[in-house]
Amino acid sequence: MSYSPGAHGRDEEAVPMVIRARSPQPPTAEELEQQHVKRYDDFSTVDWIQDSLRERHPRSHRQPRPGSLRDRLNNLDGAPGWLWRLLMRALREGESYVIITLTGIGIGLSAALMSIMTAWLADLKLGRCSTGWWLSRKFCCLEVSDEGESCEEWNRWGLFQPFPWIAYVLYAAMFAFTAAYLVRSFAPYAAGSGISEIKCILGGFIIKGYLGLETLILKAMTLPLAIGSGLAVGKEGPSVHVACAVGNVVARLFPRYRDSQLKMREILTASSAAGVAVAFGSPIGGVLFSIEEMNQAFSTRTMWRSFVCALVATFTLASVDPFRTGKLVLFQVSYDRDWHYFEIPAYIIIGIFGGCYGAFVSKFNIQVAAFRRRHLAAHGVAEAVILATITGFISYLNRFLRIDMTEMMSILFRECEGGGDTDGLCQASSQWSNVNSLLIATILRIGFIIVTYGAKVPAGIFVPSMAVGATFGRMVGIIVKAIQQSNPKAPWFAAACLPDQPCITPGTYAFLGAASTLGGITGLTVTVVVIMFELTGALTYILPTMIVVLVTKAVSDQIGKGGIADQMIRFNGYPFLEKEDAESGKSLLEPISHIMRKDIVVMPSDGISLAELNEIVQSTDYQGYPVVQSSTKRTIKGFIRKNDLRYALDRARRIYKLSPNALCTFSQFVDARGDDSGLLPHPDIVVPEAAFGSEVTTVDFGQYVDEIPLNVPPKMPLEIVLQLFRRMGPRVILVNHEGQLAGMVTIKDLLRHEAGEKAAQEVAAAAAASTGHQRAGSWGEWTPTPDPAGRQLEGLLEDGLVWAQTRGVGVVNEVISRVRSARPGNIRVSRDTYGFEMSDEGRRSG
């Protein structure tokens, strides 16, 4: 999620008192289809096959300079030489674990600092510590066991209302403004969650600057501000982005990893596991998250490195102990009582809620994102401030929304015995008022998540979703406990519950509710169960957690479209191949000949002039060219990549004096058997008749040609081609018909085909909804029409914008003029100077 190019230099405050009414024009059918198809042209891809072959290339192994000390030690005979080579081999093999260790330490330290900053900023909205302004409420009141108002060192903003309320809202707006302004001005890639983009990077798509040092610093700085502002955002998704940026920065200090995309993918996968591990205090859950969600090509070596990185990061976080409680996260909890079989229906209800939550929140958030892209792309700072102000204004009225989400979950997860009765949460006399507060908090937070996730600030959705599930689950737990206490002699209760002993633990329902909404929004199963197990450390509730997660998954699969990360990938048009179990439809049986690209530029192996070759390389955007026998006979000889061809041309110009009309051939291939060390022979330029100082008229680049590119017949089904791209990772596959080049296909071609099919369906829906934006003439008769394209919320926002830009402007102008007329002396002021402007369309509709 990045800003448009014009958003950075635009002054949003240039005309603060002028609003121009514009009627948004829906895109035409052709424009809609072009938006779907052309969005896949902005990214470059990694050829995993060539990257792995490059590891056997001499250029990827830095050789010492002849005659240097290292070269003499490498060639040393006897025991000293053997010991030196053994030491160098150990250093090479241990280099990866040095990088993994440094990355884990960096991730743990960054997570600890962000946790401390987040807690301090969240408490700063409520008051300050008299003994030190830099202390959060917890550290200010360490000697006070009660979490209430009894701490004398903690001073609230104002002695009576509404001053604490006003301070709460002002601080929220200030934090949101700072975060959004820094992101817009210095690091647009720091906005959003980052999980969708990290998945694409691990899939082989390069997004330059997304994991750079500037993005790392800005995201680590602005994430606590965004969470402290009270926006419905979490730190877990951005923690993965920060962790991968740490891994990228550390790995690029080592040349072997900086020059290898294959090695970088292993480091980034391990970093993503460590990011989840420190966010949830769950190292094993982090490893499973990287397996289940992030990387499709997962090896045992990568899993082991992910585990080591997660372990080091978790150990570093535990050593810092940011909460001074010995817990890795604030909402860690343990349970002593067992569950009962009569509670299973309540668990199923919680699971159904989690599945419905994931499906509907993803659907409506995508519609809000579409509205944001169309109308708010250049107003990210203003949007964040307005959202924070509205969220703070409303949240202060509900005690479950007022405090930080992690602190709220730590309260709701607890058992009533042993300090869990916070503010009368476990009192029977206030149980129904608590149910009402929890229900209101659940509904309001769902709305906040829908409109906030995707704003131009660092924003995760894991913890907000868990907070929704915690409030709903605690509400269900209180209701079940009330039913049990009012009917203690019912057969199903009497057989399971001991007399005069607590039977129902409402905190476990909050815990299971958090698991259900987390599974619903992410589409994960095993990872969620393991994370929740590591949070509690109790095997007792493994079975209830599995029941809830399985019900959530079943409901989500029926009414949803996968996790929100996958949906955001599709919405943003990132070129990413989904997992095999996500594929369906008859289009997979379509032959590749219907999709392949036929108008391609080829290189004849028998020769092409140097001037023509230079023109092709400079004027085309292709990443490589098929090599055929001749311009008339298209027998496939191989494939040459554009980067290799550029390197060979530059090298030939430096070494030889090339004639402007030199003939460039691709016929003398390299011997691929390799040497004794397993390295491939160094490709070189072949000049048959040249001598230094004379003009070269023939040059051969055949040794830079890949003689065995992947190729498939034209009748090959799309499903098989997708599997080849997914499992082997080539950049291009040639289509071979009886040895002749018939076409070429890339990942982007497949994604364009899929996007074109979806666009055709949306074009048909858009044509049916072409009259969907016709509205009534009077501002008091605002009647939205149904949207058959399934974008009800987006249509509602469009209606609201049209009303605000036409009728709403007139209302504001009327209020301003009445206020001015009520001034002492009735001083007349020019309406053109201070009034709001309306377009001619708005005046006509008035």
What pLDDT is recorded for position 150?
Answer: 66
**Does a structural domain hold residue 760?**
no
Query: Hey, what are 487's tokens?
Result: 């009917």
**Does a structural domain hold residue 334?**
no
- The CATH number given to whatever domain includes residue 701 is 3.10.580.10
Domain end position, chosen among 718, 749, 780: 749
What pLDDT is recorded for position 221?
Answer: 93
Cα dihedral across residues 213, 7, 205, 309: positive or negative: positive
Question: Which has the higher per-residue pLDDT, 325 or 470?
Answer: 470
Same domain, 566 and 628: no
Q: What pLDDT digit, counting tens, does each position of 338-390 carry? A: 888 888 999 999 999 999 999 999 999 999 999 998 888 888 899 999 999 99
Measured CA distances, 529 to 452, 461, 519, 546, 547 (Å):
27, 18, 9, 6, 10
Task: Match 């966010």 to its residue by tokens.
Answer: 279
Q: Which domain holds residue 618?
A: 589-749
Residue 94 class from Cβ within 10 Å (0-12 exposed, 13-18 middle, 19+ buried)?
Answer: exposed
Query: Hey, what are 93's tokens?
Result: 């093999």
**Using CA atoms, how far apart are residues 175 and 357, in angstroms rounded to an integer?**
29
Same domain, 459 and 563: yes
What pLDDT is recorded for position 313?
Answer: 94
Q: Which of the residue ranges 94-98, 114-118, 177-181, 773-777 would you say has the lowest mean pLDDT?
A: 773-777
**Does a structural domain hold residue 314?**
yes
Asked whether 472 and 350 are in contact (CB, 8 A), the reply is: yes
**Does a structural domain hold residue 79?**
no
0.75 exceeded by the pTM? yes
pLDDT of 28 > 50? The answer is no
The three state secondary structure string of 704-724 is HCECCCCEECCCCEHHHHHHH
**Band of residue 770 on the pLDDT scale cut at 50, 70, 90:** low
SS3 category, 770: coil
Same domain, 452 and 479: yes
- The CATH number given to whatever domain includes residue 283 is 1.10.3080.10
Same domain, 443 and 367: yes
pLDDT of 421 > 90? The answer is no
Same domain, 23 and 126: no
Q: Which of 742, 709, 706 is nearest to 728 (CA)?
A: 709
Q: What pLDDT digit, counting tens, does each position of 649-697 carry? A: 888 888 888 888 888 888 877 665 555 455 556 777 887 665 556 788 8
Same domain, 547 and 440: yes
Question: Which has the higher per-residue pLDDT, 156 or 142?
Answer: 156
Same domain, 696 and 744: yes
Give CA angle at 837 (834, 838), nearest 5°: 160
Dihedral pair phi/psi, residue 844, rounded to 5°: -65, -40
Same domain, 432 and 509: yes
Query: Hey, what are 725's tokens?
Result: 């791209």
**Does a structural domain hold residue 736?**
yes
Same domain, 102 and 17: no
**Using CA atoms, how far apart are residues 451 and 574, in angstroms rounded to an integer?**
22
SS3 category, 424: coil
Q: Which of 173, 226, 165, 175 is nearest to 397 (CA)?
A: 165
**Does a structural domain hold residue 551?**
yes
Q: What percent of the chain has pLDDT over 90?
A: 27
pLDDT of 774 > 60? The answer is no
Q: What pLDDT digit, counting tens, does each position of 709-761 carry? A: 888 999 988 888 888 888 787 888 999 988 899 999 988 888 787 777 776 76
Give CA angle at 398 (393, 400), nearest 5°: 120
Domain tally, the chain: 4
Same domain, 625 and 498: no
What pLDDT is recorded for position 473?
Answer: 94
Asked whether 703 and 669 are in contact (CB, 8 A), the reply is: yes
**β-strand 154-156 against 127-129: which pairing, if any?**
antiparallel
pLDDT of 32 > 60? The answer is no
**Does a structural domain hold residue 791?**
yes
What pLDDT is recorded for position 48?
Answer: 66
Mean confidence (pLDDT) of the chain = 79
Domain end position, chosen among 699, 719, 749: 749
Same domain, 496 and 638: no
**Does a structural domain hold residue 543?**
yes
Same domain, 119 and 267: yes
Question: Which has the higher per-residue pLDDT, 446 or 794?
Answer: 446
Q: Which of 12, 17, 20 is nearest to 801 (CA)?
A: 20
Domain end position, chosen among 719, 749, 779: 749
Across the range 253-263, mean pLDDT stands at 84
